[in-house]
């Protein structure tokens, strides 16, 4: 009977794809980096292997929480569970910001220590920019209508959502907002998701700008 291959032996299948691909081990270190990843972000394989994934890829605005140690994506991967695709901002080797859409494939090993989280990503910066411009136009039209109707944008939010937005505007991250409000980080994320939906914006930054323009904060 042929012995099952370990996860790292399957990484060769991701060598030549149009998507950028990198794999992360149990220590959150990058153990695989394909040619497309180098082309999209500008980092050579030798520059990233062995580094923590969040030191190379993540900044913020990831709906699963800010990139960093023990992120929810990797926690799920350690349990052999995948995660729905998500967007995260990354900085290229040349210093420009690129918005990446990321999908996860979990290569489950004989133990959690040998399990790998394979990240497939593509650059969606221009597509999202166009989408945001269209949505911003619709939002402005909606806001103009709301102003004519005497609508108060703050009235769309619950008191706790409003508190989370005001703390966000001071520059606090999710963990610090949770401490101030006495709630979990997950609940903070839920509040902020609701704020984005109710205000018709698509990022924390846009929410803060919207709130400032309408004197909510």
Which tokens hold the place of 89?
């901002």
**CATH 3.30.450.20 residue ranges in the chain?**
7-123
Q: What is the pTM of this model?
A: 0.57
Q: Which of 90-99, 128-137, 207-216 has the lowest mean pLDDT?
A: 128-137
In this model, does residue 122 exceed pLDDT 90?
Answer: yes
Q: Give the residue, 75 or 33, on which the prediction is more confident.
A: 33
The mean per-residue pLDDT over the stretch 38-52 comes to 95
In this model, does residue 148 exceed pLDDT 60?
Answer: no
pLDDT for res 204:
87
Q: Which CATH class is domain 7-123?
A: alpha beta
Find out whether 68 and 54 touch, Cβ atoms under 8 Å: yes
For residue 88, what is the enclosing H or E element? strand 86-91
Average pLDDT, the chain: 80
Domain 132-213: which CATH number of 1.10.10.10, 3.10.180.10, 3.30.70.20, 3.30.460.20: 1.10.10.10
pLDDT for res 19:
95
pLDDT for res 67:
64
**CATH 1.10.10.10 residue ranges in the chain?**
132-213
């Amino acid at each position: 009977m042929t012995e099952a291959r370990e996860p790292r032996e399957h990484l060769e299948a991701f060598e030549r794809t149009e998507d950028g691909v990198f794999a992360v081990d149990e220590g959150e270190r990058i153990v695989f980096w394909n040619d497309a990843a180098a082309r999209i972000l500008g980092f050579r394989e030798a520059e990233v292997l062995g580094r923590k994934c969040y030191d190379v890829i993540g900044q913020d605005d990831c709906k699963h929480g800010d990139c960093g140690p023990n992120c929810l994506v990797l926690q799920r991967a350690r349990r052999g569970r995948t995660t729905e695709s998500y967007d995260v901002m990354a900085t290229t080797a040349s210093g420009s910001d690129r918005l990446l859409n990321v999908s996860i494939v979990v290569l489950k090993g004989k133990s959690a220590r040998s399990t790998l989280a394979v990240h497939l990503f593509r650059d969606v910066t221009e597509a999202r920019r166009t989408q945001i411009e269209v949505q911003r136009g619709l939002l402005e039209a909606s806001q103009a209508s709301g102003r004519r109707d005497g609508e108060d944008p703050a009235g769309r939010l619950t008191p706790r959502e409003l508190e989370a937005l005001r703390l966000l505007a001071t520059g606090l991250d999710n963990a610090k907002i949770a401490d101030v409000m006495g709630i979990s980080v997950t609940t903070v994320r839920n509040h902020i998701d609701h704020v984005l939906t109710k205000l018709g914006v698509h990022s924390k930054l846009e929410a803060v700008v919207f709130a400032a323009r309408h004197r909510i904060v």
